[in-house]
Amino acid sequence: MHNNADKCFYFAYGSNMSFQRIGARISPIQRVGVAQLLGFALKFHKVGRDGSAKGNAWCTGEEADSLWGVLYQLEHSQLEELDKIEGKGQGYDRRTVAVYQGPERVETQIYVATHIDDSLRPFDWYLHHVLSGARQNNLPVEHQNLIVQTTSIEDPDRDRYHREVSIYDNL
């Protein structure tokens, strides 16, 4: 699988796995399918701008570890827009990695946290986005269970909570 000159691949492992979430941020999107990043694990310890934890592709270096997610093909302009949304250079760095879609190796872009704090917990609505995306894409049950078992905290800004989960209202 190859990019054409105007497009690139993006591997989402957190809230952007949700069709509604990424569609509300950059649209239209082209989902390629489920993929895995070997030697990485999903951690909720990235310091978010709102003070809560966000997802991070944590490099464990262990061959047995794998981070499941969704591979999208984006226009370069969409990736630049996502850089702004994700806070490239201000909490996340964008890197090129190789993910596997079955036996096929695909070079793709991911965001990796630059500021982490293991004491933080994700807000309830953020974890809802991540779990929704994992379920929508039929990620392995073991990976979904890791997300379900993650402790979240209630966002004290209930208006933000309602705004975030309202993208699922028309399902």
Catalytically active residues, by annotation: 86
Extended beta strands in 2-103, E state: 7-12, 30-38, 40-47, 53-59, 66-75, 92-101
Q: Are 8 and 79 in contact (CB under 8 A)?
A: yes
Q: Is 13 annotated as a binding residue?
A: yes
Q: Are 47 and 16 in contact (CB under 8 A)?
A: no
3-state secondary structure of 135: helix
Q: Is 14 annotated as a binding residue?
A: yes
Give the separation between CA 110 and CA 98, rounded to whole angstroms: 10
Q: Is 18 annotated as a binding residue?
A: no
Give the separation between CA 65 and CA 8, rounded to whole angstroms: 25
Q: Is 51 annotated as a binding residue?
A: no
Q: Is 40 annotated as a binding residue?
A: no
Q: Is 12 annotated as a binding residue?
A: yes
* Residue list for the binding site for substrate: 10-15, 126
